[in-house]
Structure 1
Amino acid sequence: MIEAETRGDTMAPINFAATREDGGIWSNLDKSLITQPLLAHPVALRDCTGLTQPPSLESEGFEAHRLTFERADWRNPEWVEAIGSPRTMAFIRERTGAVHIAPFHGHMALIRDTGDPAQPAAAEFVHLDHSRTSALPFIARCAPQDVRARYPHVRIYNVWRVLTPPPHDLPLAICDQRTIDSADWVEGRTVEPMMPEGVPYVTTVHNPAQRWNWFSGLTPEDALIFKAWDSAPSAPFGCLHGAFRNPLAPAGAVPRASAELRYIAFFEA
């Protein structure tokens, strides 16, 4: 049972871009490369756990669902490729009505483990993983040309799962996509050993109009789905997100570990 005092709306500092001029460099694997200037702002976070009118992909841009697996093993690439990712991909198709789905990372789960120094830790700043243009080479690589030509409307969805029980010391904050202003965007680059040139991504300066959310009750049986990219220029681009230090978490809370999968969804219109 999750204690009541670890649930509910809260205030917490969240890291935003410190300047509009430079998003700097971020690296998940080599902290010595990070140059991104950040500035923390106190932010009100709505707890979406148990709401009578929960958020949805089409409005806020995110939703949570119970999606259970028998003997789940998200750290095992063979299990993820054979069982975890295909079933998750089918669930995304069902929820979105996409006519074609392609795995973004070849059915790979991205593991973040704040309690294991050998693993990348949670990213404690707000971001979208790609800019409007930096996702295009990945889409071209992951989907056949005939699919891309036939279905020009493309979205990228992230599916995020905790691997540790609540309450979480570093939950995920997620922004209502309707409250994000592209005028606040700052472009940075994710640089890793296998990507020395870097992949542009989007962060943002703080804007009081942004509406931030979290889920206090997520368990390893749950999946948080959010839109991370949209090819339609008239649609909200996606949900800014990032880890934050939870003021409601008790001392000694299990360090948060998570698994994230990404999918490219194609639509007829």
Structure 2
Amino acid sequence: MTLRPAPEYLESITAGLPYTTRRAEKLYFYRYPPPDGVAESNVAIETHETILTNARPVADGYSLDREGYALVRQRSAVRDFWDEAQTLALGHPETAEIVKAATGASRVVVFDHTLRRRSGESDLASAKSRQPVGRAHVDQTVKSGPQRVRDVMGDQAEGLLSRRAAIINLWRPVAHVARDWPLALGDGRSVDPADLLPTDLIFPHRRGETYSLAYNPGQRWSYIPDLGVEECLLIKCWDSDETVTRFAPHTGFADPTTPPGTPPRQSIEFRTLAFFD
């Protein structure tokens, strides 16, 4: 089913965005059953009413190195993202080309993808998909960004890290317009580094790290209403270049203007490493 975009959009909306409460100890999530007596997470979410600017009229001017995100109009050759073989064979190579064209990177490696399908159920909506993330966050940190390069690139990593490297996500709707639970985008220039809270992701055999985001009224947020299947968003998750925007927080959110009966959001995000000469 394809939804027709609404003919008119508001200049901005106000919505409750999910931020993380600051605390003295380091934040964490267990991604498997934690040891006896240990909480699965110590992250507490607090919702703040936040103004989100409708970015659609000016989205063509957005830049990964300035705001930390960009809009690209390109329909995917993939006809069924739930078909893993098709997504790997077509989706990964085209994602690499999109990121190369948008950034000027000399090499792009797609190392992962995640499908999401919103439902009323917790965590997994199906064996294949996960729920939209309801927490303002950045996928990598100053620590985990280089480590991800090492994990993926192995013996090549140190040579690649001697030059500029970045981690960029490509996010696109699947099946229909993303009117339900769209993506909120935080302008990286407006984020105080003190509001980025390092958060451990604890797996059975490794420990990753992301940033959770604390609320600050100085942060600027936007969204692109009715993102279509012929569009995708590029989101900066880490950049070794300290002269540009290095991180762009983002989160799914409940848009109060979404009409009743709108089909639940389906989306896919591809995670890429971008290397520069």
Q: Same fold (TM over 0.5)?
A: yes
| Secondary structure at the counterpart of residue 143 of structure 1 | helix
Contact kept? 1:20, 1:205, Cα under 8 Å: no
Q: Which of 97, 100, 103 matches 2:107?
A: 100
The one-letter code sitting in structure 2 at the alignment partner of 1:249 is T
Give 5+ residue unaligned stretches, structure 2: 34-38
Question: How many Å apart are 1:49 and its aligned residue?
Answer: 1.4
Q: How does 1:53-64 map to 2 (within 5 A)?
A: 54-64=61-71
Q: Which of 169, 172, 175 matches 1:161?
A: 172
Contact kept? 1:176, 1:211, Cα under 8 Å: yes
What is the CA–CA distance in structure 2 between the aligned matches of 1:222 and 1:3, rounded to whole Å? 16
Partner of residue 189, structure 1? 200
Bigger mean CA offset, 18-27 vs 248-257: 18-27
| Secondary structure at the counterpart of residue 135 of structure 1 | helix
What is the CA–CA distance in structure 2 between the aligned matches of 1:163 and 1:147, rounded to whole Å? 33
Asked if 1:2 is matched to 2:5, the reply is yes
Contact kept? 2:65, 2:245, Cα under 8 Å: no
Give CA deviations for 1:150-173 in whole Å, capped at 9, x if unaligned.
552111100001114336221111
The one-letter code sitting in structure 1 at the alignment partner of 2:189 is R
Kindly report the root-mean-square deviation, in angstroms, between the aligned alpha carbons of the 2 structures.
2.5
Asked if 1:13 is matched to 2:53, the reply is no
Q: Which of 58, 61, 85 matches 1:78?
A: 85
Q: How does 1:104-253 map to 2 (within 5 A)?
A: 104-105=111-112, 109-115=113-119, 117-118=125-126, 119-143=129-153, 145-146=155-156, 148-149=158-159, 151-166=162-177, 168-192=179-203, 195=204, 197-253=206-262
Question: How many Å apart are 1:58 and its aligned residue?
Answer: 2.3
What is the CA–CA distance in structure 2 between the aligned matches of 1:81 and 1:53, rounded to whole Å? 28
What is the CA–CA distance in structure 2 between the aligned matches of 1:29 and 1:66, rounded to whole Å? 37
| Secondary structure at the counterpart of residue 161 of structure 1 | strand
- Identify if the C-alpha distance between structure 1 residues 67 and 27 changes in structure 2 by more than 3 Å, giving closer, same or farther: farther
Bigger mean CA offset, 243-252 vs 161-170: 161-170
Q: Which of 250, 257, 276 matches 1:267?
A: 276
Contact kept? 1:7, 1:248, Cα under 8 Å: no
Q: Which of 28, 35, 38 matches 2:45?
A: 38
Bigger mean CA offset, 232-241 vs 86-95: 232-241
- Identify if the C-alpha distance between structure 1 residues 130 and 147 changes in structure 2 by more than 3 Å, giving closer, same or farther: closer
| Secondary structure at the counterpart of residue 250 of structure 1 | coil
What is the CA–CA distance in structure 2 between the aligned matches of 1:71 and 1:96, rounded to whole Å? 23
Contact kept? 1:166, 1:216, Cα under 8 Å: no
The one-letter code sitting in structure 1 at the alignment partner of 2:117 is D
Partner of residue 69, structure 1? 76
Asked if 1:48 is matched to 2:55, the reply is yes
Bigger mean CA offset, 38-47 vs 160-169: 160-169
TM-score by length of 2: 0.85
Give 5+ residue unaligned stretches, structure 1: none
What is the CA–CA distance in structure 1 between the aligned matches of 2:13 and 2:30, rounded to whole Å? 29
The one-letter code sitting in structure 1 at the alignment partner of 2:171 is W
